[in-house]
Amino acid sequence: MLRRAWKPIAASVVVAGPAYYFYTTHDQTFELPVRVKDSDGKKQIKMKTLPLLPMTSINSSLRESGTAETKSRPYGVTWHHTTSALASNDPIEDAHSHQIIQSDDGKSDLLFFSVFDGHGGRNTSQLLSRTLINAVALKLSQLAASTTASSSTKSYTDGLWEIWSKSPSNSTPTSWDVPSISSAIENAFVEFDQVLLDAPISILKQTLQEGNLTAKSPVPDLSSNASGIQTMQAAISGSCALMALFDTAQKDVYIACTGDSRAVAGVWKPTADGKGTWEVDVLSEDQSARNPKEVERLRSEHPDDEADNVVMNGRVLGGLEPSRAFGDARYKWPIGMQELLNQVYMAGNGTPLRKPPRTFKTPPYVTARPVVTHRKLSFEDPSSLRFLVLATDGLWDVLTPEEVVTLVGGHLAGLKGTIPKSTLPSLVPTSVANAGVDGKAGKQLARSTKQGSWAFVDDNLSTHLIRNALGGGDEKELRQIMSIPAGTSRRYRDDITVTVVWWEAGKENEAESVIVKSKL
């Protein structure tokens, strides 16, 4: 088991301070600065007194969405993954999905895990959670089909596995290698986004072809067309996307990142003294207008006279922080198209589109093309990748990759109770192999410091990370941030969605699947 394999960490466990669930406070209210309108309509900041929710309510909210799954496979690896989400927007704009494609002989798997950070509504993120994995699998099946003429009559899973089951030496290196798979994933993202953007245009074209227009009405009114409105909403809202693909046959992992969600891996490194350390490997870069690489890319894609306007105040055209995203059509459609679709779909129902930024000249300014990162896997080598955390930026606003790896490593080692932040690094030592590029550039909130304590009280690893992002062992701080009502809370915390994936070898005789809902 993991805890046995990593026992040197757990052997030094110290639980400090009072028991987490019995910490009490005499002050059952707190004050919060909020924006309010005065009698003449002007906004000003006033202090508002809010009640502190009891810990029973806090724990219920934190654990409500948590799920955990364990699947042991005949090839000798047991996979574990947990997911948990916490809303700040109402309704939550984050989404997530996962899927496992098994080979016919059960000796190999393709495992997909993804998280989506929506903005401007949940329409785009919800659509992606239902469809993007299948879009990537379809693109990979087309890549597989290109290596064998006989695969044309097979399903995409059969076609995939006909190729995946071959040894690397028997595969076609020019069409089925790491660069080709990475390119296929990239193209799947881009093509799916184009379909998303084209959908309301296609409905309009079909309506125009059917006629029934008059001189007084040169364009149709589709403001009550349910399909048209649905496609418009998915196109004009936006979402970041982060996907992990594990290929157990070739022992590869691919991370595809569009936007500023982040993937961080923990790599176990045994040491000469028998204790070991966790190595931090950041597998994605924050693609935001605060990332110098993204700023340079954006400026290179537009005329020189736009150099000062493409990125302003850390945002694309001064408005959008992620520099890559699905949807966000107001940064992609030409102005004429935006005006036409606004008249056709939105004006008639009183929800007109926001006008594009005033410096909008040469779209598109935002792309869904991901950056794909690759790592090799080894289920035998203890120094290989051991766990992966995928999370929307609500988590990374507060926790660093090093803190996340330490918190996961400590949880896997069996730490329990409340532990001072200053103590945990000595119990769960880490080193940084790859820090990645932080696109937040100083935007990180100040709650994550060496002061205070971490809490190891949740069985679900994803819930464990969310709790510690919002206060951890400091009950008063946790109660305050969790007691801010929806509508106001977005100024203090974002939606958070976390998926943690980890695995262990030597479980080939336990081929079963168990799904557990977090207990309240």
Greater confidence (201 vs 210) lies with: 201
Res. 17 pLDDT band, cuts 50 70 90: very low
Classify strands 277-282 and 430-434 as parallel, antiparallel or unpaired. parallel
**Residues paired with residue 432 on neighbouring β-strands, in sequence order:** 280
Res. 1 pLDDT band, cuts 50 70 90: very low
Greater confidence (324 vs 172) lies with: 324
CA 281, CA 464: separation in Å to the nearest integer? 20
CA 443, CA 424: separation in Å to the nearest integer? 25
What are the start-end ranges of the H helices in 397-474? Answer: 401-413, 424-427, 461-469
Taking only the tens place, the pLDDT of each residue in 480-512 is: 999 999 878 998 999 999 999 999 874 333 323
CB contact at 8 A, 84 and 460: yes
Segment among 83-97, 299-313, 413-427, 493-507 with least mean pLDDT? 493-507
CB contact at 8 A, 359 and 309: yes
Task: Share the mean pLDDT of the chain.
Answer: 85
pLDDT at 517: 37
pLDDT at 191: 97
CB contact at 8 A, 406 and 425: yes
**Residues paired with residue 95 on neighbouring β-strands, in sequence order:** 116
Segment among 68-77, 141-150, 151-160, 315-324 with least mean pLDDT? 151-160
Greater confidence (84 vs 34) lies with: 84
CB contact at 8 A, 404 and 250: no
Segment among 213-222, 384-393, 404-413, 467-476 with least mean pLDDT? 213-222
Please determine, for residue 159, whether its predicted confidence score (pLDDT) is greater than 60: no
CB contact at 8 A, 501 and 388: yes
Segment among 41-45, 132-136, 214-218, 417-421 with least mean pLDDT? 214-218
Neighbours of 64 (CB within 10 A): 15
pLDDT at 256: 98
CA 361, CA 314: separation in Å to the nearest integer? 19
403 SS3 class? helix
CB contact at 8 A, 388 and 328: no
pLDDT at 351: 93
pLDDT at 440: 67
pLDDT at 19: 30
**Residues paired with residue 68 on neighbouring β-strands, in sequence order:** 82, 516
Please determine, for residue 449, whether its predicted confidence score (pLDDT) is greater than 90: no
Taking only the tens place, the pLDDT of each residue in 23-51 is: 333 468 888 888 877 777 788 888 889 99
Complete domains list, the chain, with CATH: 2-294+367-517 (3.60.40.10)
pLDDT at 515: 32
CB contact at 8 A, 391 and 465: yes
What mean pLDDT do residues 211-222 have?
Answer: 75
Cα 356 to Cα 305, 336, 342: the distances in Å are: 18, 11, 12
Res. 329 pLDDT band, cuts 50 70 90: very high
Q: How many Cα neighbours within 13 Å face the side chain of 226?
A: 0
Percent of the chain having pLDDT more than 90?
Answer: 67
Prior bond of 364 cis (ω within 30°): yes
Specify burial of residue 224 (Cβ count, 10 A radius: 0-12, 13-18, 19+): exposed
Among the listed residues 439, 117, 118, 119, the one whose alpha carbon sits nearest the alpha carbon of residue 295? 439
Taking only the tens place, the pLDDT of each residue in 111-132 is: 999 999 999 999 999 999 999 9
pLDDT at 266: 95
Please determine, for residue 514, whether its predicted confidence score (pLDDT) is greater than 70: no
pLDDT at 492: 92
